[in-house]
Structure 1
């Protein structure tokens, strides 16, 4: 099943994990939306610099440190995704509790590993 995914913290730099994740998600034919500080494209995915009220986001995968996530708590919760993935370095117990309070699942995992092991 294809899972529409929003990558938050998307980067145009090819060596960044968010950039690699966008490419890998597309390799597996998952629809991808991306939000970052600089607009541009990663393959066929446009990186938006404004918060958009996307429809039917299954998964949000985070590439922001916990302090920077705070500005996006309400936005992510408003999207009502099925789950939020906290990639290495993004672990955030404060946000876990907010997600629990809003009945949104979360995983502390690496998107790239989940994809590579067929667990995405």
Structure 2
């Protein structure tokens, strides 16, 4: 099983990206984190720069569409199996680019997917 990259990771316990990191680990998934502020959560460093992570299976987005363009080429270069657009992150332009690069797109909630066995 490949890793999940959370883009928009945060150490704020009230943020959905924090809860997603917590739940992904609880369900046995490995994670990598990119966010605006450097920190460490659950023993994992929140990177503030794009890194060449290996074995990324899923990218789950917690940033609005206005901040996504800087990640277009980066996410495609990681060649994940899928990208999850969590509620509020939907972006038809980015979704079309991913589809053109044979990357599966899901408009869904990572937390709900985990809890219902759809992850």
Matches within 5 A, 1:54-73: 54-73=53-72
Once the two structures are superposed, what CA deviation does each residue of 1:17-53 show, in whole Å capped at 9, x if it has no partner? 0000000000011010000011111112211111101
**Matched position secondary structure for 1:58:** strand
1:6 pairs with 2:5: yes
Moved over 3 A (4+): none
Equivalences, count: 119
The residue number in structure 2 matching 1:25 is 24
Q: TM-score, normalised by structure 2?
A: 0.97
RMSD: 0.8
1:93 pairs with 2:89: no
- Distance in 1 (CA, whole Å) between partners of 2:2 and 2:113 is 13
The residue number in structure 2 matching 1:119 is 118
Q: Is the 8 A contact 2:2 2:55 kept in 1?
A: no
Q: TM-score, normalised by structure 1?
A: 0.96
